[in-house]
A and B are shown apart, each in its own frame.
Chain A
């Protein structure tokens, strides 16, 4: 084993830098000046990026390309019964760097750094500057922990951490009720998904006896086997097989958790509302990083998924349906950030489609390119909002193309990228996904194609409404239109550049590329069993035709948008009028929120009201009032006892004595003649009594009388 370089050995610094500055903000942030806050917080992210880049570079020297380091043992309960027998269970705090996490940390720290720089300018006029950066750095720490974790428990720690930071940052303007409600909604919906995730982790723990991903490059691989090794061993021993039910259950539970975090059907409802947060938050968390955590997790667990085809199919189907569902809603939205939110959901659907058909590297590739252009779109939208002094409604924008060129030009690039126009990044990644989809499930390819058309349509609708056409900006705002400061526009430019060249990592083989990206990620996504072989490169003709189809439908979408929103502006109103019900359905997001409210939210509120009533009536009634009543009953019983039994006894004795004495008392007449009578009676009695007994005495007496 070659000795790791400095950056690899200090892998643990990467999450630590933002954690330190977050703690710093928590403790002393209030008293620091804004410049100091910016310096520390943005600087720490920059340091993390440098270390991440260095680590990835040094990783390429390792063979196999896996580096693990364990900081300390965290949970060591000892032996645990598992599907494969007793095994020593241990969960430790350790970091793993392999190609997959390498891609992730580069994206997170790179895009994160650019967004932090942007935030200096965007949040410069806001209150709570230090709080914002503190939360953002805390988020960076959690996200980096998530992607660098070497076992599921630490990943879950990061998972929950990003959920917390999402809640804190969505509800950043906590004085606004809609913002705090949105934060709550995000957290709660995430939690619903986390249930599935946790159950999945428990299943994995009991099935494999370990939750560590792999034990490669660890000092003692046999004692603490990873999931990868255990899975391979079990397959060899024949205890698990392709399509085993336990694996399907695990895969489905994990995917449910991913749905929550990555806003897929049916747990996507929190993402549109999350736009209440500041725009950099939307860019970082809800475009580039947090929502991709689900994709990352499924990709990480690809070994299990490959052995559960039912789950994979479900992943693909859910992803595709989400994609088209969200795209349809984006068509009718009027808030610039909402359109982008639905677009994010739709693109995440694409990523899951890729994972579902087995094109894991394509999915990760799309994750990376999406991070570039979606972050750019959000930051650009933020710049537009900033220029219009807070206006977010598309119907009140227009004609800004020349007013804010530093914003509008990158925005155009991003829009082209997301629509999938070559040679920008989005084309390559999307095309890769659609190609793989066609191989496996052609009907999903078709829906994906339609979604691509919709995507182009609504994105260019956004562009045209915001930047082109006659200006519909209200007069008082029109005077204040100004370009954003350099701190905001430079990141835009950098991201635009990345959106252009980002796709060139994976030039398809057709065009003479070497698919370096896929090769880089190949060790991670190695086939577990030969049956689940990845689809080989298709015939050149099919490839070319597919590419042509996606480009064609994108161009068609652009043309349609141009027609409706530029050439005949009244057309869209007429269209809306001719299908009023459909339009209403789309505008109201299919009433999904209302359905959820009626089904779940209000029922739970009713349940808690019921419990409250139960507490007040039954528990208070029985417990408090009941015990009071019981005490009264007891006291009246003892009162009765005291009055009738105790006093009765006393009174009885008195009355009895009186009863006995009353006849005897009558003897005391006070008149002495009756006393004399009694004396006489006594005398008579005595004589009568003694007379019988003293006969012989009498005889004696008589004899003496002689």
Chain B
């Protein structure tokens, strides 16, 4: 019972915020709505007993990436009063295609009901104990089986950092702070 309420609350917030995010004219508003979406998603993670990811999502995604986004938005000095959204064929087509895709996958999921098993639509009894304590289990996998991807990810972050610095550097004066 609590599960359902929590789920529907977080899911609704997430979807609603997402929908609002893609339709705001003001970019700051969009950023804020993305933050709420991310927070809602973190809640979903928590409900799925992925505690580490819940924290990681909030710290990294919201605290890091979205702050970065808002900084850049302020740097770029977006004009608040932007052009009206014109109706373009491309947008219409995109809407159609996206909805078609969604509808299609929904159809598949509902069709899966007829299959023997109906695994998807039964509240799954998950062997939750296998994943707790979550952080330790995660760390075990991360630093043993998936060590290489972990290192590569560090390199990736290094490269991204260097790249971002180079990209955003002011080319005219090398001496300016």
Interface residues of A in 139-168 (CB under 8 A from B): none
- Inside 8 A of B118's CB, which chain A residues have their CB? 702
The listed residue (A681, A688, A702) touching B120 by CB distance below 8 A is A702
Chain A residues within 8 Å of chain B by Cβ, number: 17
A677-B90, A680-B97 known; A699-B115 Cβ under 8 A: yes
Further contacts, 19 of them, CB under 8 A, given A677-B94, A680-B97: A677-B90, A680-B94, A680-B98, A680-B101, A683-B101, A687-B101, A687-B104, A687-B105, A691-B108, A698-B108, A699-B115, A702-B115, A702-B116, A702-B118, A703-B115, A703-B117, A705-B117, A705-B120, A705-B124
A673-B90, A691-B104 known; A706-B117 Cβ under 8 A: yes
Contact B112 A702 (CB under 8 A): yes
Task: Write the B101-119 contact mask toward A (1 if CB under 8 angstroms, else 0).
Answer: 1001100100010011111
- Inside 8 A of A681's CB, which chain B residues have their CB? 97
Q: Is B100 an interface residue (CB 8 A)?
A: yes
- Inside 8 A of B174's CB, which chain A residues have their CB? none
- Inside 8 A of A563's CB, which chain B residues have their CB? none
Contact A677 B93 (CB under 8 A): yes
The listed residue (B93, B94, B104, B119) touching A705 by CB distance below 8 A is B119
* Docked pose: A53 CA to B115 CA in angstroms: 155
Task: Write the B77-104 contact mask toward A (1 if CB under 8 angstroms, else 0).
Answer: 0000000000000100110011011001
* Docked pose: A698 CA to B109 CA in angstroms: 10
Chain B residues within 8 Å of chain A by Cβ, number: 18
Q: Is A522 an interface residue (CB 8 A)?
A: no
Nearest CB of B to A451, in Å: 128
- Inside 8 A of B93's CB, which chain A residues have their CB? 677
**Chain B residue nearest in CB terms to A671:** B90
Contact A702 B119 (CB under 8 A): yes
- Inside 8 A of B104's CB, which chain A residues have their CB? 684, 687-688, 691
What residues of chain B have their CB less than 8 Å away from a CB belonging to chain A?
90, 93-94, 97-98, 100-101, 104-105, 108, 112, 115-120, 124
Contact B101 A703 (CB under 8 A): no
Q: Is A674 an interface residue (CB 8 A)?
A: yes
Contact B117 A674 (CB under 8 A): no
What residues of chain A have their CB less than 8 Å away from a CB belonging to chain B?
673-674, 677, 680-681, 683-684, 687-688, 691, 698-699, 702-706
Residue among A677, A684, A699, A702 with most chain B CB within 10 A: A702
Q: List 18 contacting pairs A-B, 8 Å CB cutoff, sorted by A.
A: A674-B90, A677-B90, A680-B94, A680-B101, A684-B104, A687-B101, A687-B105, A698-B115, A699-B115, A702-B112, A702-B115, A702-B117, A702-B118, A702-B119, A704-B119, A705-B119, A706-B117, A706-B119
Nearest CB of B to A659, in Å: 23
**Chain A residue nearest in CB terms to B90:** A674
**Chain B residue nearest in CB terms to A702:** B115
* Docked pose: A681 CA to B93 CA in angstroms: 9
- Inside 8 A of B115's CB, which chain A residues have their CB? 698-699, 702-703
- Inside 8 A of B119's CB, which chain A residues have their CB? 702-706
- Inside 8 A of A677's CB, which chain B residues have their CB? 90, 93-94, 97
Nearest CB of A to B151, in Å: 30
- Inside 8 A of A698's CB, which chain B residues have their CB? 108, 112, 115
* Docked pose: A677 CA to B94 CA in angstroms: 6
* Docked pose: A454 CA to B75 CA in angstroms: 149
- Inside 8 A of A706's CB, which chain B residues have their CB? 117, 119
- Inside 8 A of B100's CB, which chain A residues have their CB? 684
* Docked pose: A699 CA to B115 CA in angstroms: 7
* Docked pose: A698 CA to B124 CA in angstroms: 18
* Docked pose: A683 CA to B105 CA in angstroms: 12
* Docked pose: A687 CA to B124 CA in angstroms: 27
Contact A684 B101 (CB under 8 A): yes
* Docked pose: A704 CA to B112 CA in angstroms: 12
- Inside 8 A of B120's CB, which chain A residues have their CB? 702, 705
* Docked pose: A702 CA to B90 CA in angstroms: 36
Residue among B98, B117, B120 with most chain A CB within 10 A: B117
**Chain A residue nearest in CB terms to B116:** A703
Nearest CB of A to B48, in Å: 16
* Docked pose: A677 CA to B120 CA in angstroms: 30
Nearest CB of B to A441, in Å: 129
- Inside 8 A of B112's CB, which chain A residues have their CB? 698, 702
* Docked pose: A688 CA to B93 CA in angstroms: 17
* Docked pose: A687 CA to B98 CA in angstroms: 13
**Chain A residue nearest in CB terms to B93:** A677
Chain A to chain B: the 5 pairs with minimum beta-carbon distance, closest first: A705-B119, A702-B115, A684-B101, A706-B119, A706-B117
* Docked pose: A691 CA to B107 CA in angstroms: 11
Residue among B93, B105, B108, B115 with most chain A CB within 10 A: B115
* Docked pose: A674 CA to B88 CA in angstroms: 11
* Docked pose: A703 CA to B112 CA in angstroms: 10
- Inside 8 A of A699's CB, which chain B residues have their CB? 115
* Docked pose: A470 CA to B106 CA in angstroms: 159
**Chain B residue nearest in CB terms to A695:** B111
Contact B97 A684 (CB under 8 A): yes
- Inside 8 A of B98's CB, which chain A residues have their CB? 680
- Inside 8 A of A702's CB, which chain B residues have their CB? 112, 115-120
* Docked pose: A677 CA to B116 CA in angstroms: 36
- Inside 8 A of A703's CB, which chain B residues have their CB? 115-117, 119
* Docked pose: A703 CA to B114 CA in angstroms: 12
- Inside 8 A of B101's CB, which chain A residues have their CB? 680, 683-684, 687
* Docked pose: A683 CA to B100 CA in angstroms: 11
**Chain A residue nearest in CB terms to B107:** A691
Nearest CB of B to A366, in Å: 131
* Docked pose: A273 CA to B4 CA in angstroms: 151
* Docked pose: A674 CA to B119 CA in angstroms: 38
**Chain B residue nearest in CB terms to A704:** B119
Nearest CB of B to A680, in Å: 6
**Chain B residue nearest in CB terms to A683:** B101
- Inside 8 A of A680's CB, which chain B residues have their CB? 94, 97-98, 101
